[in-house]
Structure 1
Amino acid sequence: MKKLPIVAIIGRPNVGKSTLVNRFTGSRTAIVHDEPGITRDRLYQPSFWRDRDFLVVDTGGIVFDDDSEFLPEIRQQAMMALAEAVAAIFVVDGQEGITAADEEIGNWLRQQNVPYFLAVNKCESSEQGLIQAAQFWELGLGEPLPVSGIHGSGTGDLLDAVLSCFPPLDDLPDADETEINVAIIGRPNVGKSSLLNALTGVSRSIVSPISGTTRDAIDLQIEHQGQSYRLIDTAGIRKKKNISYGAEFFSINRAFKAIRRCDVSLLVIDALDSITDQDMKLAGRIEEEGKAAIIIVNKWDALEKDSTTIYKYEKMLRDRVYFMYWSEILFVSALNGQRVKTIFDSIQTAVKEHRRRVSTAVINEVIQEAVAWYSPPTSRQGKQGRIYYGTQVSSQPPTIALFVNDPKRFNDTYRRYIDRQFREQLGFQGTPLRLIWRGKRPREVEESKLNRATRV
């Protein structure tokens, strides 16, 4: 496979850039809402046209004469998108006409070293669209192309023009097919975007003390020591009762989807806040999805400590997030980079264990030894549980089926004992382990007895 060319979508706020991105990609990944400034960071999405695959990067609305809130950071993100793009699409609003902001962006775009195309959006009517687009000749940016992000009209002609800027396939560098997807999950303002920037070494996500700065799920491909990673920065997830329908609602849905499509989740916790009920719910969501996970305690540098603080803190975490006892805990500071690079080693370990497969012979050796040390419980009627054999039926997460005479004869204590034996003997650090207790039907039991008698 080849690394994909990048096409940057730029323009002032609320001209329909994200709608156009969703049209190009055939998805609804980019958040579309009738409110300016929804998109803030760079959002990459795969697209395909004719015989070429490429990436479309959605950017926030550019405003040059205002430095309030996130606008300077949004401009910086747009500039970084242009720096890596093979072509840019400048989106304007055909219904509103030319504005002073369009002229400013046009003047700035002429100074950039990237081919660009002028897309006049919201031209839903073909005849009226030509009239709406004609007025944009005044910008002096070449032929204005009327398009409709909602209906898709004119987008084919636009993409035909963009494809002319793509380098030949033979000139593209090779891509790494063993990419690891890493989702950064946590409550608002725990330092997820700061951690992403620390891991990459660049200002990839906007960092602000204002809660809810990140809205989209921000994808970023990087390479570390020869391994390719896709890091996914997500919006902070608040309690459900505090979420109203709108931009935040869509942002949190993107965050939950990021958990489902990742290989490993980094659950970020604020060291100053300790662990909250919401952190525990997010940990439960990761465990339910069966994802490998690492608990990241961020802002560790800001906590007053003595020689025993780290041990007490870890014990408190283990006690509260007891269902993720298999997860590694790392104490880091995204602000000064303390122990941030060690996260990559932990990711490698967790992903390896998450994808691991163990032979049936090894699994049954563990079962035999476990049963020899601690026999299955016996009911009041004198009926004892029996484990006939076990086998791994899937990975990601590792799932082992245990075939027994009756699952009801194995209480929670014994099931936890068997789970602990598998982990002590086989590892599986950093990943959940699924045990499926399957009872044999009477016919299968009789057949197994007959087979044993025949062997004798």
Structure 2
Amino acid sequence: MSKPIVAIVGRPNVGKSTLFNALAGENISIVKDTPGVTRDRIYADVEWLNHTFTLIDTGGIEPDSNDIILSQMREQAQIAIDTADVILFMVDVKQGLVDSDSKVADMLRRSHKPVVLTVNKVDHHEKFLADVYEFYNLGIGDPFPISSVNKQGLGDLLDQVISLFPESVTEEEEDDRPKIAVVGKPNVGKSSIINKLLGENRVIVSNIAGTTRDAIDTEVQWDGKEYVFIDTAGLRRKNKIKEELERYSIIRTVTAVERADVVVVVIDATEGVTEQDAKIAGIAHDRGKGILVVVNKWDAIEKDDKTIYKYTNKVKEVLSFMPYAEIMFVSAETGQRLPKLFEKIDMIIENQTMRIATGVLNEIMSEAIALQQPPSDKGKRLKLYYITQVAVKPPTFVIFVNDKKLMHFSYTRYLENKIRDTFGFKGTSLKFIIRERKDNE
């Protein structure tokens, strides 16, 4: 099920990042020391009353002059309107109502997207009450007074946010066709691949009910099966500075990946695999999606008998945090190897939804323990009691141990490799949850 997307929009210094950090807490979805995974926190998963949503910070504005602030706020509002289910529009009670707030409010109102008007820096309710009421003039609903710094009023704000989530999630649930997000840097050939698969130069825009995103959904039929491709192309923003474009493409990628079962990460063979490719792939990895790395424009590469081998190694090196990813070399131009795409996608979906019997898992675990003793610390040895699979997409396992602190990351990785040796699980990450169980339970 795809998580709803909530975006924060507002002028400089109204406290957007403070709110982002307060809501995201330490629970940031970005893996700290993973090479190649973005460290600038643009998005994070937030949980509130059994709802999980993805919070997006639409970006910092460099205050230059009022005109620039307004144009950049409009740009942010547009990103939010394009991608979010709910928009948090943030204003500052101490600065009061400013002209650019009204102009952006007009834009948000016309978009008919749900907006929650968030009045920040209200650290004393009584003192600021009259000032909060002033924001009713924006005409976008009730102002919610909060203080991001003191974390006051966040509960009411979040209650309001989750009450606005779309019902349409259930419609998407019933659509059980495989959903494939095609992601990658601009100009790597994402649309060309989809067009080639359609066999004609057109992207069929069939807006499936319940998709509020502006990623284009395309139905592709192959071998009697239907697939829905989510295309994040359309990133043709002219004269944008590189950082902004990058931020925008990451936000677009997060929203597309969220809805997908399998993510096809397209890399340009002529450019080689880059840091930006790793950032984009990292989003899909963080989200536990099936991953297929497609190296496009392979026809444009001079080859000898070692080219594919060298190239594969290079890709594996830059994307070392996801050794399970499947890699294939194609050309959208000539159609070379594109039909194989569906075989790979089917295989990855099968692996994403594979369930393994508890008995078999515990046999693998016992064997692994016999081959390599679990680590110990200050004379206390890790004991593993039991392993069971609790979920699919991605396959998720719970391991019961005597002491979580002793369960070192490298030992979890060792067990993962043993499970993969038996079942492959190509193209999907595996998730492990470690739980403690005392000996006497």
Aligned mates of 1:244, 1:276 — CA distance in 2: 18
User: 2:202 is paired with a residue of what secondary structure?
Assistant: coil
Give a deviation string over 1:78-131, Cα, whole Å, max 9, x none.
xxxxxxxxxxxxxxxxxxxxxxxxxxxxxxxxxxxxxxxxxxxx9xxxxxxxxx
Percent of residue pairs identical: 43
Whether 1:430 and 2:427 are equivalent positions in the alignment is yes
Counting only pairs closer than 5 Å after superposition, residues 33-432 of structure 1 correspond to structure 2 as 178-205=176-203, 216-235=214-233, 242-244=242-244, 253-379=251-377, 381-432=378-429
- 1:53-98 Cα deviation digits (max 9, x unpaired): xxxxxxxxxxxxxxxxxxxxxxxxxxxxxxxxxxxxxxxxxxxxxx
Partner of 1:116: none
Contact 1:269 1:279 in 2 (8 A): yes
2:440 to 440, 446, 450: 446
Matched letter for residue 191 of structure 1: G
Whether the 8 Å contact between 1:182 and 1:265 is mirrored in structure 2 is yes
- Identify the residue that residue 105 of structure 1 maps to in structure 2: none
Q: CA deviation at 1:270?
A: 0.4
* CA positional deviation for 1:250: 6.4
Task: Name the residue aligned to 2:169.
Answer: none
CA contact (8 A) 1:216 1:251 kept: no
Query: What letter corresponds to residue 369 of structure 1 in structure 2?
Result: E
Equivalent residue number for residue 62 of structure 1: none
Structure 2 residue matching 1:323: 3-state secondary structure? coil
Letter in 1 for 2:440: E
Query: How many pairs are equivalent?
Result: 266
Q: How big is the shift at 1:177?
A: 5.4
Q: CA deviation at 1:413?
A: 2.4
Question: Aligned equivalents of 1:395 and 1:293: distance in 2?
Answer: 15
Contact 1:179 1:228 in 2 (8 A): yes
The 3-state SS of whatever aligns with 1:235 is coil
Rounded to whole Å, the distance in 2 between the matches of 1:413 and 1:181 is 33
Secondary structure of residue in 2 paired with 1:202 = coil
Distance 2:229 2:176 in 1: 14
SS state of the match for residue 265, structure 1? Answer: strand
- 1:204 to partner: Cα distance: 2.3
For the residues of structure 2 that align with 1:383 and 1:436, how far apart are their CA atoms? 21
Larger radius of gyration: 1
Letter in 2 for 1:424: D
Question: Against the structure 1 CA distance between its residues 252 and 421, is the aligned structure 2 distance closer, same or farther, given a 3 Å change threshold?
Answer: closer
What per-residue deviation string (whole Å, max 9, x for no partner) do you get for residues 149-188 of structure 1? xx9xxxxxxxxxxxxxxxxxxxxxxxx9541100000001
1:359 positional shift: 1.5
Shift of 1:222: 1.9
Distance 2:392 2:408 in 1: 25
The alpha carbon displacement at 1:378 in A equals 2.0
CA distance in structure 2 between the aligned counterparts of 1:421 and 1:437, rounded to whole angstroms: 17
Q: Structure 1, residues 10-56: CA drift from partner, whole Å, max 9, x if none? A: xxxxxxxxxxxxxxxxxxxxxxx999xx9xxxx9xxxxxxxxxxxxx
For 2:7, the equivalent position in structure 1 comes to: none
Please say if residues 286 and 293 of structure 1, whose CA atoms lie closer than 8 Å, have aligned partners that are also in contact.
yes
Write the distance in 2 (CA, Å) between the matches of 1:179 and 1:344.
13
The amino acid of 1:225's aligned partner reads D
Q: Which gives a bigger RCO, structure 1 or 2 (Cα 8 Å, sep 6+)?
A: 2
1:168 counterpart residue number: none
User: How big is the shift at 1:411?
Assistant: 2.2
Unaligned runs of 5+ in 2: 1-72, 83-109, 111-139, 141-173, 205-212
3-state DSSP class of the match of 1:361? Answer: helix
Structure 2 CA distance for aligned equivalents of residues 280 and 241 of structure 1: 21
Q: CA offsets, 1:220-266, max 9 Å, x none?
A: 1121112110011113779x983449xx9767534321100001000
C-alpha distance in structure 1 between counterparts of 2:235 and 2:387, whole Å: 39
What letter is aligned with 1:406? D
Aligned-pair Cα RMSD in Å = 3.1
Preserved CA contact (<8 Å) 1:357 1:398: yes
Note closer, same or farther for the CA distance 1:263–1:303 as it changes in structure 2 (3 Å cut).
same
Whole-angstrom distance in 1 between the partners of 2:408 and 2:188: 39
Partner SS state of residue 257, structure 1? helix
1:361 positional shift: 1.0
Distance 1:177 1:317, change over 3 A: same
Matched residue of 2:381: which SS? coil
Q: Secondary structure at the match of 1:193?
A: helix
Distance 1:346 1:224 in 2: 13
Q: What whole-Å deviation, never above 9, does each CA across 1:272-299 have from its counterpart, x for those lacking one?
A: 1111110001111110011001000000
> How far apart are 1:319 and its partner, in Å?
1.5
Shift of 1:410: 2.5
